[in-house]
Amino acid sequence: MPTDHLILIPTAFESDLIAPQLSGYLEKTNAVITHCGFGPVAAAAITTEAITTHQPRRVILLGIAGAYLSPQSNLTVGQAYRFGTVTVDGIGVGAGSEFQSANDLGWPQFAGDQHRPAINDTIELGTDASFQLLTVCAASATPAQAQLRQQRYGAAAEDMEGFAVAMACRLRDVPLTIIRGISNVAGDRDKANWRIKEALNSAAIELGAALEEKP
C-alpha cells in the first residue's frame, strides 16, 4: 500500500536530535521515515530504492544546511525554510573560478526520453517557496569559497543531498518538498557558532505543517 509521505533525513545524527517530534508525527499520519545517506551519491541511490519500496505520494527531505551571506537570501541561522529550486554544483569541468557546469558545456544531467523531459543543472520543485538551494559534493570550507558559489548561482543556502533527491523524485514523477534548518553560515567551520539543535527543531516544526497538507 502506498504511503502518503516518505520523509528522508540524511543522517541518524540529525534524526536523533528531533526523535520525539518524529515519533509523534508517525502516530498521526501515514508516513515513513528513513535515512537517505550523506552526500549526493548515497542520497540518489537510497531515494530511488525508497520510492520503489514505499511508493509515496510525496517525498519530504529534511535536514540542516549552511546559509550564504546575501541580502537577497537573508536566512537566519537556527531557523528552517522550504526551498523551491535546487541546483547542483561541481558536475562539469574545472574548479573554482574556472568551473564550467554541465549546462555551460551543453550537456544535460539527464537527456530525457520518450516518457520524461530532460533535466539540467536546476530543478524547479513546483512549490511556492522562493529560496534556491545549492547541492554540493563538499561543503564550503572558507567564506571566500562560499561567496564564489553564492555569486555564481544566486543560491540562498547549500546542502549535500537536495539535487540528488530531486532528480530521483523527478524521474519517478513524485512531488518533493525540501525543508532545511539553517545550522550555520556556509564557509564558517567553527562549530561554536553553529546552531544545529535549534535549526533541526525549527525544521521539525515546519515538517509538522507540511504533513498537514495534502500530498
pLDDT in tens, 174-197: 999 999 999 999 999 999 999 999
Residue ranges covered by each domain of the chain: 5-211
Domain 5-211: assigned CATH number: 3.40.50.1580
* Distance (Å, whole) CA 198 – CA 203: 9
Q: Report phi then psi at 28, rounded to 5.
A: -110, -15
Given this model, what pLDDT does residue 156 score? 96
What pLDDT is attached to residue 161? Answer: 98
Task: Quote the pLDDT of residue 74.
Answer: 85
Query: In this predicted model, what pLDDT tens digit does every residue of 37-93 receive, in sequence order?
Result: 999 999 999 999 999 999 999 999 999 999 998 776 789 999 999 999 999 999 999
The closest of 10, 20, 91, 82 to 50, measured between CA atoms, is 10
135: closest CA among 38, 34, 59, 213? 38
26-39: pLDDT as tens digits: 888 999 999 999 99
pLDDT above 90 (res 215): no
Confidence grade of residue 142 (pLDDT, cut at 50, 70, 90): very high
